[in-house]
Amino acid sequence: MLKTINMNQTLVLNKSQEDALEQIYRELLFSLKKTRSEENMFELICLITKECGSQTINSKKEKTVSFFKSVGNISGRAFNATKVKIDAYKNNGFKAEFAADSNLVNQFIESTPQKIKNFNEKSILRLKRLNTNFLQKSKEEKLNLMASGLMSILIFYASAGGEDFEGGIPDLDLDLGVGFHRNIFSHSIISGLIIEFLMRSGIEILNKSYSNLPVNHHLFWDKVNDFTNSNKNLAIGSMWAGISVHLIQDAGLNQATTKPYSGIPFEMSMDAHQGLFAANGTASAIFAKN
């Protein structure tokens, strides 16, 4: 029986658990050796780099195009509605149209409490429906959902910098020294693109290792591979969400000033610095929607 002891707890493994860990370890070594011996490592790295870089850029391009299309549609509808309203004031007269608009505003105000009540009732029904659906799932499905949720929360807070959103991925520049803090490369979407690329690369390497496992390998590898590939977009989205809240907080939009960017070779006003933080935070939030 194997015991692993530290200051806080003792982990005790029985014989079957020891055998399982030894099998997993042997299979990992087998996969790594096979990958190294049968694959041209340079070509493999180039292939992974090209594929993951393409996935990273294309996913961002699609989100950006979709966002601007949505903004364009909203702007177009707003423009058309404004034009229609101006024409109505011209044709019907200011007094009559203003009275009609005032009546609509009063109706909206009067109906607001009921709308809030209806919204709350619908929200409660949705929560009950979600809970019922969750309870109806199998034990394995419940565990997978809880694992996915826990993973996304951990990645979000790790990326954002904990509960106070101080630290995380953007503040890795502090390791280079205080003078590098809030560098344009770390406190922008550039850092997120690099981390997403590394995450996708890691997953592709795991997939390659999985394909080189022995035929009769431990079930552990199947579960890890399925979970990783099923939740990769959730993990990447959680990472972007964490970066987003960090950068938006750094913008200090509710303050007169904030600590400005470093590494920018030209002068910028404080409003420009805050706007740049906010713009990168907003872009990260768009990219988080996977």
230-261 pLDDT, tens digit each: 999 999 999 999 999 999 999 998 888 889 99
Mean pLDDT of 52-81: 72
Indicate the SS3 state at residue 10: strand
The pLDDT score that the predictor gives to residue 151 is 93
* Residue 170 pLDDT: 94
Close Cβ partners of 145 (under 8 Å, ≥ 6 residues apart): 134, 137
pLDDT score of 186: 93
Give all strands (DSSP E) within 111-251, no chain letters: none
- State the DSSP code for 259: P
Instruction: Report the first-to-last Cα separation within the chain, whole angstroms.
Output: 45
For residue 5, the model assigns a pLDDT of: 47
Helix axes 219-230, 15-38, angle to 10 degrees: 70
pTM of the model: 0.74
| Residue 269 or 5, more confident | 269
**Beta carbons of 168 and 243 less than 8 angstroms apart:** yes
With 60 as the cut, is the pLDDT of residue 169 above it?
yes
Q: Is the pLDDT of residue 67 over 80?
A: no
